Homo-oligomer: A and B are copies of this chain.
Amino acid sequence: MQTISPTPAATLLFRQQPRRHTDGVGHVPSAGTVRRYAKDEEIFGEGDRTAYYYKVVEGTVRTSKLLSDGRRQIGAFYLPGDLFGIEAGDEHRFSAEAVGEAKVVSYKRCGLEGLAANDNDFAVAIVEALMQALARAQDHMLLLGRKSAIEKIATFLLDISERLNEDSFELTMSRTDIADHLGLTIETVSRSLTQLERKGYIALPSTRRVELRDKPALAQLVG
């Protein structure tokens, strides 16, 4: 989700119009307001009114749902350039928080009404993000429902690596966040990582840093 380019599907939903400008991470109107969020600060909560759309500028954002007893599922991590918070209904069905320090732009949803008519680009970006999110969710359901712990970790690492376009990267999220994203416990995440390291597929110079050493072997593991 590094760059957002129009797909046939999204394009077809709107009248054809010349695109005006793009910025490499998806076009957005200039009307957004930027805000910094502290580590673990809530951007919106489950049940909040869906008044805005958001885009990550710096840092990482997680969206999550909770069960009544506190069990948590992190639906996705959003990296710089990613849009999030687009939903059906007038209430958010999941919450979003900053993972570490993050900078986020928000766009008033009601500002869209006129936009869709005059400035197609933002509307297209929204539908784009929606379809992207759905595609990701489909993949993630396969991971959650059918993959083993090691396969989950391998898939996760390759996914991050691909989105960052780096074979060596810093994990912005804690083991707890990874566990809640992959449907595991922190202990299993930890054990799986060391297991991959022992096999020589990855290196872990520090707890948060990951280097992919054998991508083909990892790719083998994703199924």
Chain A interface residues (CB < 8 Å from chain B): 7-10, 12-16, 50, 65, 67-69, 71-73, 75, 86-90, 93-94, 109-110, 112-113, 116-117, 123, 126-128, 130-135, 137-142, 144-147, 180-183, 223
Contact = CB atoms under 8 A, between A and B. Distances in A.
Given A88-B7, A141-B75, A116 B67 contact: no
B142 A73 contact: yes
A113 B137 CA distance: 27
A117 B120 CA distance: 12
Given A133-B134, A140-B141, A116 B13 contact: yes
19 contacts: A7-B89, A7-B90, A8-B90, A12-B113, A14-B116, A16-B113, A67-B223, A71-B147, A72-B146, A73-B141, A73-B142, A73-B146, A88-B132, A89-B131, A94-B138, A134-B134, A134-B137, A137-B137, A141-B141
A223 B88 CA distance: 22
Contact of A138 (B50, B69, B93, B113): B93
A116 B9 contact: no
Nearest to A181: B145
A45 to B, nearest CB: 15
A181 B181 CA distance: 19
Given A130-B131, A144-B145, A9 B138 contact: no
B88 A145 contact: no
Contacts of A182: 145
Contact of A135 (B13, B89, B90, B183): B89
A188 to B, nearest CB: 13
A113 B144 CA distance: 36
Given A9-B86, A87-B131, A65 B142 contact: yes
Contact of A71 (B68, B141, B223): B223
